[in-house]
Structure 1
Amino acid sequence: MMKMKKMSVYLGEKDRYQHKEMYEHILEICYNNGIKGATVIKGIMGFGEKRHIHRNDFFTLSEDLPIVVEVIDVEERINFLASRVRELPFDGLIVIQDVEAYYVTGKK
């Protein structure tokens, strides 16, 4: 078990930076700065501070579904990454939590 930090970045599918999706830009920052790993999760429904519900179902196709970028690494790298993400031009939320991480290889 390792004590690590998890950073979750909540943003919208429409968020862009330099002609690409914001989540892709955040992943590039992670990759270029030695972050151990990151995952992008696309939500099917959600709302934020502006209280507008975004959903994806048969009858309603939202063009701005919620996106979450999750990153787990040591505290120093997460703090560095958070400082970089806070500078980006998007409306969203950054959450940092303490986590216990276990590597699972599937081999006995």
Structure 2
Amino acid sequence: MTVPTRRALRLTVFLGESDTWHHKPLYAELVHRAHAAGLAGASVFRGIEGFGASSVIHTSRLLSLGEELPVAVVIVDAEDRVRAFLPRIEELLTGGLAVLDACEVLTPGTPAPPGDPERHPGEPGSGR
């Protein structure tokens, strides 16, 4: 049995853990805006080592740099919903890196209607 999938868009924003927006962690602001926009979900991942535009390596192994670890905020939803969200965060993306990736979301237990254009060829009910 093939698990049904849906096409989606993944927005990943890479930033520093100490980046802020109006005295609030920037990653938290991104998550709260995604929630307010009604997006499907957002998660924050704290890195253990990395570097960005500054070329300075930040790592959890060095006490002096341990508080500026890399952070990734990942948001996944339908492409049109993610693209509609981008203008709501444009002002926040001044120092980080934002990446958009096409992806597939597994939707077990949620069969798509027959002929659904979101289904991929060869999936049950795709008609191809």
TM-score by length of 2: 0.75
Q: Which runs of 5+ in 1 are unaligned?
A: none
Alignment match, 1:8:
12
Pick from 8, 33, 36: which aligns with 2:40? 36
Secondary structure of the 1:14 match is coil
Pick from 63, 71, 82: which aligns with 1:67? 71
Deviation at 1:104, TM superposition (A): 4.6
2:76 counterpart letter in structure 1? I
Q: Which has the larger radius of gyration?
A: 2
Aligned residues: 103
Q: Which runs of 5+ in 2 are unaligned?
A: 110-128
* Equivalence map 1:1-108=2 (5 Å): 1-57=5-61, 60-61=62-63, 62=65, 63-88=67-92, 90-104=94-108
Larger RCO: 1 or 2 (CA < 8 Å, sep 6+): 1
Deviates more, 1:38-47 or 1:83-92: 83-92
TM-score by length of 1: 0.88
RMSD after superposition = 1.4
More strand by share: 1
Secondary structure of the 2:92 match is coil
- Percent identity reads 33
Q: CA 1:28/1:3 → structure 2, altered by over 3 Å: closer, same or farther?
A: same
